[in-house]
Amino acid sequence: MEELDEEMIQFEKDHPSKKSSGGNGGGSSSLRTLAIILGAVAVALLIALGVMLFQKSALVKDLNIDKQNLTNELIALQGDYDALSTTNAAINDSLNVEKEKVGQLIERLQKTEATNRAKIREYEKELGTLRSIMKGYIKQIDSLNTLNISLRNEASEARREAQESKRRYEDLQTTTDELSKKASAGAVVKGRGFNLVAINESNKVTDRSSRARKLRACLSLIENSIAERGWRNVYIRVKGPDDILMTDDSGKVFTCNGEQMIYSASREVDYQGEEVEICIYFAASQGFEKGKYTVDIYTDETRLGSAEMILK
């Protein structure tokens, strides 16, 4: 209060014209003036505070942008490390270590406030170090790739020569196989003179289905000096007018060129390289109907031929 009274006295001294208005009027005017001054000061302080808050908000925003940019650069660096590859196991192990460091740095950065400028600067330095290390690895890998290209060219030439040698060998092998096949084919016993007839109870040929008791298939095994000598099986497959294979229901099976087939009847013959005539008989338990009959004749090596007849 004493300070206020002193300010009022000083104010009256500085403004003597105000005294004529009386003591009470002068005091009231001084208070209003003081209030105006204080209000102006308060407004100025509020404006200053608002400016400071705005500047701080803008600064925080800029710092967050800097942090995000640094994060993006680290993620891009991580991608660059992922893109590096080499067949050198030691370099790959080192690359994995550096990639792990980048990942850890990203994690630390994400947990750090953007306003922590000291840490952000520290992370920026680490980013620079990791980039320098990556450049060193790129040079190593480029050198290795250059060496590998040279080695690949040499290997390619070696493979080309090997393929050419393989091709010549395969051509020779093909020629040998063809000759072998021709020799094998030439060693196969063949047949001719195929004939199929029906015979009656007196073993005489008949064309009457009512008199037929058996079918007789005859042929000659041709002379072949390079064929293997010894016993051979000759098989017949008889089909009736309904084109169904006729058998004696015993389910007899033989194999020719890897394929299993049921046969109607067979005969074993001693082949000694000279032509030999053989006949094979087949009797149907159900008898024979009118129509066309066919017979296919085989050995274990090949199909010899066929014949047909008609019963009335």
Q: Which pLDDT value is given to residue 218?
A: 96
Paired tokens of 299? 């050995």
Task: Report, as ranges of residue numbers, the positions in the chain whose pLDDT lies below 50.
Answer: 1-5, 7-8, 11, 17-23, 179, 182-183
CATH tag, 191-311: 2.60.40.10
The secondary structure of 149-169 as a DSSP string is: HHHHHHHHHHHHHHHHHHHHH
Report the pLDDT value the prediction gives residue 147, as an integer from 0 to 100: 66
Q: Output the pLDDT for position 298.
A: 96
pTM of this structure = 0.44
Q: What is the pLDDT of residue 305?
A: 94
CB 40: neighbour CB atoms within 10 A? Answer: 10
* Paired tokens of 100: 């792990």
Exposed (0-12), middle (13-18) or buried (19+): which is 126, by Cβ within 10 Å? middle
- Predicted local distance difference test score (pLDDT) of residue 65: 82
Structure tokens at 182: 């021709």
| Residue 129, pLDDT score | 85
Q: Residue 228: helix, strand or coil by DSSP?
A: coil
SS3 288: coil
What percent of the residues of the chain are helix, what percent strand, and what percent coil, each to the nearest 5? 55, 25, 20
What was the pLDDT predicted at 4? 42
Beta bridge partners, 262, equal 253
Domain chopping of the chain, boundaries: 1-152, 191-311
Q: What is the predicted pLDDT for the residue at 208? A: 94
